[in-house]
Structure 1
């Protein structure tokens, strides 16, 4: 099967931009402007800084220190082991804008929030491709209307144009995707993609994980379960994606109240408002390389205003 059959919605307005081949088909992407900025020195803590997709390649020198897996070590901390203890390193934001792939199965309201934030310049990244298991869903329609290529994944019995996992990995790598953002994507992510993009795939879930997560807990089902349990609080969770549903490390959460007379629809609307804000804030941090790791493997976000603070 030729890969050109799975790319949809190319905008003719983008034709002057450089073309990138996928199989025998060419489609155009928006040009990415180069930015240069830097973070102040981190003097109090020692973290591993995530930068882009976690490919199995060696980085000879990055940010003034040597690394084999994109690790940048800062000054010593009691909580994190440092092979270069006492050696202060100044971290820098990568000059180029990050390339984002968003996965959706439905209306894609979080996808739209991220894309709009990119267009207005509040995050240093661009959504360059949309992946969906439903080619006619609202998120796919929005992508086509905005000149964003759409890929169908996984293959379905009634669809002839879908990709298998290895084809999807190859395509995303060819596009040089840095981060994968799940935004209402209801299929389990294949192990091939998780291994290719270690620590670079994120999902948003409409409850405070680990509560009300796992297979079968999605959409309105989650909010009905929260209300039925008597829980007084709920809210969105953004977490890293592993090989199971909703079990990856939690990166960010936001709390909303569950009111005494709430319906599932009212609670869903309240949570969704927070989702739109939280996901954009997290993607901003990703694009600015502000994700750091505690020694115990818990990811934290470094404050943009005060790099010595994490949350």
Structure 2
């Protein structure tokens, strides 16, 4: 519609300009041009009939030429705007996981294929042998262990996590199945820049202890007819930040937790595009 509007505007101006400009050789003809030296051959012989060429025909030809040039200009402007998108700074993402990393795979794939204008530059996990950490290592993504515990002595302490993420120049933090509570220091360092992906329609089936398959089993056991993923801001508590996006999927009769989880995961991939 925008192109059509520009098209009509350029066309109307072009016709007026060409018909009124005395310096334009294409518009120097009078309204009708008579050619007395031209003859029309008829069946009865030759008759001296002047041929008249309406100037409107020439103006239509001029209009088509000018409009074609105008459309080309419009297309060039649109092309330049599209090209400018490639110069938008790609966001640098840190993804936090604790398990198999299905959401991590979805996010990373969206970054690589283009829907998300960003890159996963670092993975943070509290389990060095989890599937998410193995996936990241296989893709050349640095892996950081956090928080430091007796079972994971090589993990970073809370005081150092913010510093390390700053060194990676992280813009946004995405919690994709991360089971630990985020320290206040990190929330303050990244205000409104930490997001959590939860596999239920919050506030239902959220809070401490609701994660992974436990969520889907609880949804089925409750008799709920609908479920779906939620993306929300992260605050100092579990699953209580402001909701940003949700997708709804049906809970079918005889659904297993695995079947429901797969259905929810497909919708997670669609709302991952909010970071583009």
TM-score by length of 2: 0.67
- Cα contact 1:209–1:246 (8 A) shared by 2: yes
Q: How many residues align?
A: 195
Pairing of 1:109-258 with structure 2 (within 5 A): 109-258=102-251
RMSD: 1.7
- Specify whether residues 172 and 256 from structure 1 end up closer, same or farther in structure 2 by C-alpha distance, changes over 3 A only: same
Q: Which residue of 1 aligns with 2:256?
A: 263
Bigger share in helix: 2
Select the residue among 279, 282, 299 that pairs with 2:274.
282
Paired with 2:259 and 2:206, the residues of 1 have a C-alpha distance of 20
Paired with 1:262 and 1:128, the residues of 2 have a C-alpha distance of 37
Paired with 1:220 and 1:158, the residues of 2 have a C-alpha distance of 24
Shift of residue 189, structure 1, vs aligned partner: 0.5
Deviations 1:207-249 (A, max 9, x none): 1001110001111111111112221110000111000000000
- Cα contact 1:232–1:258 (8 A) shared by 2: yes
Paired with 1:251 and 1:94, the residues of 2 have a C-alpha distance of 27
Paired with 1:221 and 1:123, the residues of 2 have a C-alpha distance of 29
Paired with 1:229 and 1:178, the residues of 2 have a C-alpha distance of 38
Higher radius of gyration, 1 or 2: 2
The answer to which structure, 1 or 2, has the higher relative contact order (CA under 8 A, 6+ apart) is 1
Shift of residue 267, structure 1, vs aligned partner: 1.3
Shift of residue 126, structure 1, vs aligned partner: 0.7
Hey, which bits of structure 1, 4+ residues long, moved more than 6 A?
none
- Cα contact 1:36–1:95 (8 A) shared by 2: no
Task: Using the TM superposition, name which of 151-160 and 232-241 deviates more.
Answer: 151-160
Paired with 1:189 and 1:255, the residues of 2 have a C-alpha distance of 27
- Specify whether residues 36 and 171 from structure 1 end up closer, same or farther in structure 2 by C-alpha distance, changes over 3 A only: farther
Shift of residue 36, structure 1, vs aligned partner: 7.2
Deviations 1:116-140 (A, max 9, x none): 1212222221111000000111111
